[in-house]
Chain A
Amino acid sequence: MTQLLAAVHKEWLLQSRAVAPLVAVLVFGATALLLFSFAVGPDYELLRGNAPGFLWLALLLSSTLTLAESFQAEMEHRALEGQLLLPASATAVYYAKALANWAQLALLGIALVPLMVALYDANLPRPLALFGIIALGTAGLSAPGTLYAAMTHQARSRQTLLPLLLFPLVVPVLIASVKATSLLMLGDPMGQVWSWTLLLFAFDAIHWSLCGLLFGRVVED
C-alpha cells in the first residue's frame, strides 16, 4: 500500500510539473468536438441527439494522446526499469499510472461538457450523474489503455499500435457510456440508466483487476 501511495505521489509530481501536455490534450478534445459538428452540419436536432456520441468519441481519441504520453517519462533514463529494480512492485506502478490516467481523462471529460453544451445546444438536467458516468467510462478507458501503453511505448509504430489495440477492446465502454449519457441528457422514461451503469461497473471491475494482474508480465525483463 505504501508503495502504491509513493507511486501515486510520483505521478502527481510528474503531472503538476507538466501542465502543457494536459492543456494540449484539452485543446485537441475541443477541436475534435468542433470537427464533429462540421461533419454533421448545423442541424440542431441532429447535433443535440448525437452530442453524447461526439463527447465520447472526442474522449476516446484524446485518450490515445494521454495514454501514449503517460509512459514518456518512464522511457527517459530507463526510469521504469529503475523503479522495478528498487524493488517497487509492478502492480503498484500499474495502479498508480492507471489512476493518474483516469484522473486526467475524467478531468478532460468534465472540461469538455460545457463546450458540448454550447456547441450542440445540449441539455444538462443531471450534471452530477453525468460526471459519474464520465468517471466510470474514463476508468474503463484507463485500465486497458495503461496496460497497452506500457507494451506499445517500446514497440515500433507506437502511435498506430496503441489505438489499434485499444479501440476494439473498449467498444463496450463506448456503447454503455454513450447510451447512459444520452439517457441522462435526453430523458430516461424506462429507467435504463442503471443497467448501462452496471455494465460500466462490470467492465471496470474486470479490467482493473485483470490488467493489474497481467502488468507484471508485460514489464518484466
Chain B
Amino acid sequence: MADPFRPPPVPGPRLGFALMGLGALLLCIGSYLGLFVAPSESYMGDVYRIMYVHVPTAWNTMLAFTFAFGAALAFLIKGEFKWDARLEAAVEVGVMMAGLLCLQGSIWAKPTWGVWWDWDPRLTTTAVMFFAFVGILALRRFVEDPVKRATWSAVATIVAYADVPIVYFSVRWWNSLHQMQSSPETVSRAFLIPLRTNAFAVLFLMAGLITVRTRIAALRLRQEMAPPLPEPASGLAAEGAR
C-alpha cells in the first residue's frame, strides 16, 4: 500500500466551477417559480414561499455534514490526506449553510409565530451543530501539525455527528410541552416543482463549493507537507520564499 501520509493530489477546478454555475442558474429558475408562479397557500398566505429556499438548504446542510462524517471515517481508516481536505471543505461549507439555515428559520418564525426563535427541535439542533462544527474549524486553525490536525478534526467530527440525533431528541422532548411544528406539510403538485428545482440547485451549488474548497485545502496541504526548502543561496531567493 502506498505511503498514506503524502500530500493529496489536486485535480483542476473546472468541475467545481461548472457545478457552482449550474447550481446558481437552477436556483434563479427555482426561486423565480417559487416566488411568482406558485400559488398562494391557504393558511400561510405568501410567507410559505420562504420554504422554497429553507427546505433545500436544510436537506443540503445535513448532506454536507454527513459527507464530512464520511470523510472523517475515511481518513481515520485509510489515512489519505485527500479525505482530510474533503473534511475541511465539507465542514466549512456545512457551517456556512447551517448559519444560513438559522437565519432563514428566524425570518420564517417571526411572521408565523411572532417570535424570532421558537425552539423548533430541527432548527435548535442546527444551531447546536453550527456551534459544534465551528469549534472543529477553530480546532483546525489552532493545531499546526497537519497529521495531528487531520486526526483530531476527524475524531471531533465523528463525535459531533454521532451527537446530532441525541441533541435532536433531547430538544424535542424538552420542547414538547410548547410544541409548535413550524414547517407546513405541502402535498400539492404546484408546490413541488419549485421545491425540487431549488433542492437540486442547492445540491449542485454545494457540491461545487465543496469541490473547489477541497482544492484549496489540498493545495495548502501540499505546501505544508512539502519537504523543507534548501537554505537560500541569495537574498533574492529568501525574499521569494517568504
Contacting residue for B159 out of A152, A154, A169, A195, CB 8 A = A169
Cβ A165 vs Cβ B170 within 8 A? no
Cβ A168 vs Cβ B155 within 8 A? no
Q: How far is the CB of B69 from chain A (nearest CB, A)?
A: 13
- Indicate if A218 sits at the interface (CB-CB under 8 A): yes
Cβ-closest chain A residue relative to B160: A169
Cβ-closest chain B residue relative to A203: B166
CB neighbours (8 Å) of A207 from chain B are 159
- Indicate if B190 sits at the interface (CB-CB under 8 A): no
B129, B136, B167: residue with the most chain A Cβ atoms closer than 10 Å: B167
Once the chains are docked, how many angstroms separate the CA of A157 from the CA of B142? 7
- Indicate if B139 sits at the interface (CB-CB under 8 A): yes
- Indicate if B107 sits at the interface (CB-CB under 8 A): no
> How would residues 129 to 172 of chain B score, 1 for a CB under 8 Å from any chain A CB and 0 otherwise?
10110111011001100001001101110111011001101110
Given A199-B170, A199-B173, A217-B151, A168 and B162 contact (CB-CB distance below 8 Å):
no
CB neighbours (8 Å) of A175 from chain B are 170-171, 173-174
Given A175-B171, A217-B151, A206 and B139 contact (CB-CB distance below 8 Å):
no
CB neighbours (8 Å) of A157 from chain B are 142
Beta-carbon contacts under 8 Å, A145-175 to B: 147-148, 151-152, 154-157, 160-161, 164-165, 167-169, 171-172, 175
- Indicate if A214 sits at the interface (CB-CB under 8 A): yes
Contacting residue for A155 out of B143, B163, B173, CB 8 A = B143
- Indicate if A5 sits at the interface (CB-CB under 8 A): no
Once the chains are docked, how many angstroms separate the CA of A210 from the CA of B156? 11
CB neighbours (8 Å) of B159 from chain A are 144, 147, 169, 207, 210-211, 214
Cβ B135 vs Cβ A171 within 8 A? no
Contacting residue for B169 out of A144, A155, A199, CB 8 A = A199
Given A155-B142, A175-B174, A176-B170, A168 and B160 contact (CB-CB distance below 8 Å):
yes
CB neighbours (8 Å) of B143 from chain A are 154-156
Contacting residue for B138 out of A164, A167, A196, A220, CB 8 A = A164
The B interface, classified by DSSP as helix, strand, loop or mixed, is: helix
Say which size band chain B's interface belongs to.
20 to 34
Once the chains are docked, how many angstroms separate the CA of A160 from the CA of B135? 10
Given A161-B138, A175-B171, A203-B166, A168 and B132 contact (CB-CB distance below 8 Å):
yes
- Indicate if A35 sits at the interface (CB-CB under 8 A): no
Cβ A169 vs Cβ B163 within 8 A? yes
Given A155-B139, A165-B135, A168-B128, A195 and B76 contact (CB-CB distance below 8 Å):
no
CB neighbours (8 Å) of B131 from chain A are 164, 167-168
Cβ-closest chain A residue relative to B127: A168
Chain A positions near chain B (C-beta within 8 angstroms) = 144, 147-148, 151-152, 154-157, 160-161, 164-165, 167-169, 171-172, 175-176, 179, 195-196, 199, 202-203, 206-207, 210-211, 214, 217-218, 220
Pairs across A and B, CB under 8 Å, 26 listed? A144-B159, A148-B156, A151-B155, A154-B148, A155-B139, A156-B142, A161-B139, A165-B132, A165-B135, A165-B136, A165-B139, A167-B131, A168-B128, A168-B129, A168-B131, A168-B135, A169-B132, A171-B170, A171-B171, A172-B167, A199-B173, A203-B166, A211-B159, A217-B76, A217-B155, A218-B152
Interface pairs A-B: 4 shortest CB-CB? A168-B132, A172-B170, A168-B131, A165-B135
Chain B positions near chain A (C-beta within 8 angstroms) = 76, 128-129, 131-132, 134-136, 138-139, 142-143, 148, 151-152, 154-156, 158-160, 162-163, 166-167, 169-171, 173-174
